[in-house]
Amino acid sequence: MLKFILRRIGASALVLLGASLLMFFLTINSGDPLKDLRESNDPNREQLMAQRSELLRLDDSPWERYWDWLSGVGGCFTGNCDLGVTINGVDVLGLTQQAAVSTLRLITVATVLAIIVGIALGILTAIRQYSGFDYSITFSAFLFFSLPVFWAATLLKEFAAIQYNNWIADGHYAPWTIVIVAVVAGFLLQAVLGGTRKRRMLTAAAVFAFVTVILFVFNALDWWRNPMFGIGGVLVVSAAAGVLVTALVAGLRNRRALYAALTTVVVGVVAYLAFAPLLVNSPSWGLLAGLFVLAVLVSVGIGAAWGGYARKQSMLVTGITGVITSLMVFADLLIAHWASFLGVKSRPISTIGSQTPNFTGGFWEQVLDMATQILLPTILLTLVSVATHSRYTRSSMLETLNQDYVRTARSKGLSEREVIVKHAFRNALIPITTIVAFDFAALIGGAVITEQVFGWKGMGALFQDGLNAVDPAPVMAFFLVTGVAAVLMNLLADIAYAALDPRIRR
């Protein structure tokens, strides 16, 4: 395996080198960097052209310029990176760092969400092939896939930002809104859960009743402006998640796994109580990260302790449960600070920017500010990727569900959960891995329009401005980041192939 990985890394380096050469030559030949000056008749036009030629080294041969760029990049390995300067005389290295941080923040969340939602939808549509649910997901997938990003952005800004902000000023649902929301929720859930007609009706009715009551209660409590979740909320939701994770991964009959998951939840909540003063009074990202790592370690430990004959399975269950419990704790803290956040920022969801200019507020308010700013672009990027992920997962699942070994597994009397999770899904993952890896790199480039419509200046702006000005330094910096990401992700995909299908590894 190690040899395989090393060989792939070596090949990847060569690919990057070749691609960078091609990219460099494509970029410098994509236009005339002196265009605006040629069209000018400033008396000092010649001077300006000479000045820019010197800045961009236009008089040197392309090979010399490429070599220069390459040795600048080579410097990164010895600690003195030099990615050149832009046509505006700005150092590209600093620009790239800022842009990469901004863009990676944007797309990491979107990618993770898209993978989870996309694969889940793909599996559901595959096992409910040709149901109303399948058709509506297919329809939406193609809707989001084939209509331009700006259109979805306009709608999102109108409804999720402007209208929401108007509404949150008061924060109460009208009764008929509640009814509509409840009906829609009931309809959607019965379509997803499926079953006999009677069972569907029951599901719909239960969901309708539940949503109606909850929303009326929220209205009465002025919940949307002063929300609270509390220890109880964390406990209930985490426990439910624990049961669900157990059911999916190990099956509820595996009592040890179930108990391990529930223990994890209880330990998590107790730890929350213990750390609450620290989290409220002196929070920091370091503290959060530390506690998160601790939580995962402890959860996995609990799984190992409970494990028994299926220890690894239990550890997986408790690990996932631990992560979910941590997220719930984090959510509880954010929810608790929502009211004070509204006090600082009365229109919480912005349509532009990665942060509110000159925002003042405590740590949790700042986290909320970042979250509300990142919300809309994340939804948008997720929607587009979900469309592709769900289509590929669906097709891949359909393929594997018809394989002989799946039929064998069924005829053996294995539960449907096991058939799908262990046999069908695992094999369906091969093409999905490819597309996820491919998509991540494409997303960085594809974020160009999203960044633009939401006023984030990131990698996309770097690339676009550079290409427009025929300025190779920022374009190549963009390439370095996306290229390395693409190569890395493809490497991971290859390793994942090898792990998923040992026969491939040679």
26 vs 180 by CB, closer to another protein: 26
Between residues 268 and 319, which has the closer beta carbon with respect to another protein? 319
Minimal distance, residue 271 CB to another protein, in Å = 28
Query: Nearest distance from residue 120's CB to another protein, in Å?
Result: 14
> What's the min distance (Å) between Cβ of 139 and another protein?
7
| Rg of the chain on CA atoms, in Å | 27
Distance (Å, rounded) from C-alpha 93 to C-alpha 81? 7
Six-digit token pair at 92? 């590209």
Shortest reach from residue 127's CB to another protein, in Å: 5
Decide whether 63 or 312 has the Cβ nearer to another protein.
312
Nearer to another protein, 176 or 198 (CB): 198
Sign of CA dihedral 377, 185, 247, 237: positive
The residue (of 1 and 221) whose beta carbon lies closer to another protein is: 1
Token pair, residue 422, equals 């262990």
- Contacts of residue 236, defined as CB under 8 A and 6 or more positions apart, other chains included, come to none
**Do 368 and 349 touch, CB atoms closer than 8 A?**
no
Residue nearer to another protein on the CB measure, 7 or 175 = 7
* Residues pairing with 281 in the sheet: none
Residue 273 CB, nearest distance to another protein (Å)? 32
CB of 272 to another protein, least distance (A): 29
Q: Mutual orientation of helices 311-336 and 285-306 as an angle, nearest 10°?
A: 150
| Burial profile 412-421: b = 16 or more Cβ within 10 angstroms, e = fewer | eeeeeeebbb
Q: Which is nearer to another protein, 68 or 91 (CB)?
A: 91
Give 351-402 as a 3 state SS string. Answer: CCCCCCCCCCCCHHHHHHHHHHHHHHHHHHHHHHHHHHHHHHHHHHHHHHHC
Nearer to another protein, 172 or 422 (CB): 422
Min dist. Cβ of residue 363 to another protein (A): 17
Nearest by Cα to 382 from 156, 131, 186: 156
Alpha-carbon distance 189 to 237, whole Å?
Answer: 18
Please name the residue that has the structure tokens 């909850």.
Answer: 214
User: Which parts of 169-254 fold into alpha helices (H)?
Assistant: 175-193, 197-221, 230-249
In the bound complex, what is the minimum distance in angstroms from residue 93's beta carbon to another protein? 10
